[in-house]
Amino acid sequence: MNAEVIDLDLLDLAIGYSLILLTAALARLQGIGQEREMIWASLRMVFQLLAIGYVLHLVFAFSSAWPVMLVLLVMGAFSVQVLGGRIKRKIPDFYAVVGSAIFIGCGGVTFFFCLLIVGLEPWYDPRYMIPLSGMIIGNSMNGAALAAERLSAEMNERRDEIEAALCLGATARMASREAVRSAFRAALIPTTNTMAAMGLVFLPGMMTGQILSGTAPVLAVKYQIAIMFAITGSVAVTAFLILIQGYRRYFTPAHQLRDLR
Amino acid sequence: MPELRLEEVRKSRPGRDGLPVQILRGISLTAAAGQLTAIIGPSGGGKSTLVRLLNRLEDPDAGRILLDGQDLRLIDPLRLRQRVALTPQKPYMFEATVLENLQRVALYQGSAVPDPAAAGFREILSLCRLEAELLPRAARSLSLGQQQRVSLARALLTGPEALVLDEPTSALDRPTGDRLADTLREVCRRRRLTVLMVTHDLRLAERIADRLAFLADGQILEEGLTADLLARPQSEGLRRFLDTSSVPEIAEAQGDFDER
Contact B108 A165 (CB under 8 A): yes
Does residue A122 have a cis bond before it (omega within 30 degrees)?
Answer: yes
Q: What is the mean pLDDT of chain A?
A: 92
The pLDDT tens digits for A149-181 are: 999 999 999 999 999 999 999 999 999 999 999
Which of A163, A168, A255 has the CB atom closest to B154's CB atom?
A168
Q: In this structure, is residue B124 part of a structural domain?
A: no
Q: In this structure, is residue B258 part of a structural domain?
A: no
Interface contact B124, partner A, CB < 8 A:
no
Interface contact B15, partner A, CB < 8 A:
no
The reported pTM is: 0.86
Which of A160, A161, A174 has the CB atom closest to B108's CB atom?
A174
CB pairs under 8 A between A and B: 55
Q: In this structure, is residue B154 part of a structural domain?
A: no
pLDDT band per the 50, 70, 90 thresholds, residue B254: very low
Contact B109 A164 (CB under 8 A): no
The pLDDT tens digits for B100-157 are: 999 999 999 888 888 888 888 998 998 898 999 999 999 999 999 999 999 999 999 9
Q: Which chain A residues are Cβ-neighbours of B155 within 8 angstroms?
A: 167-168
Q: How far is B212 from chain A (nearest CA, A)?
A: 25
Q: Which chain B residues are Cβ-neighbours of A161 within 8 angstroms?
A: 92, 94
CATH code, domain carrying B29: 3.40.50.300
Q: How far is B140 from chain A (nearest CA, A)?
A: 13
User: Any residues with CB less than 8 A from the CB of B69 and at least 6 apart, and which?
Assistant: B3, B5
Interface contact A169, partner B, CB < 8 A:
yes
Q: In this structure, is residue B250 part of a structural domain?
A: no
Q: In this structure, is residue B123 part of a structural domain?
A: no
Contact B85 A167 (CB under 8 A): yes
pLDDT band per the 50, 70, 90 thresholds, residue B246: low
Q: Is the pLDDT of residue B209 over 90?
A: yes
Q: Which chain A residues are Cβ-neighbours of B94 within 8 angstroms?
A: 161, 164
Q: Into how many domains does chain B fold?
A: 1
Per the structure, the complete domain to which residue B167 belongs is given by 4-91+160-173+184-243
Kindly write down the DSSP assignment for every residue of B170-228, as one continuous string: TTS-HHHHHHHHHHHHHHHHHHT-EEEEEES-HHHHHHH-SEEEEEETTEEEEEEEHHH
Q: In this structure, is residue B108 part of a structural domain?
A: no
Q: A23: which DSSP letter?
A: H
Q: In this structure, is residue B125 part of a structural domain?
A: no
Alpha carbon distances (Å) from A253 to A8, A125, B58 = 61, 45, 12
Over residues B85-99, the mean pLDDT reads: 95
Q: In this structure, is residue B102 part of a structural domain?
A: no
- E strands within chain B? 4-14, 20-31, 36-40, 62-67, 70-71, 84-87, 162-166, 194-199, 211-216, 219-225
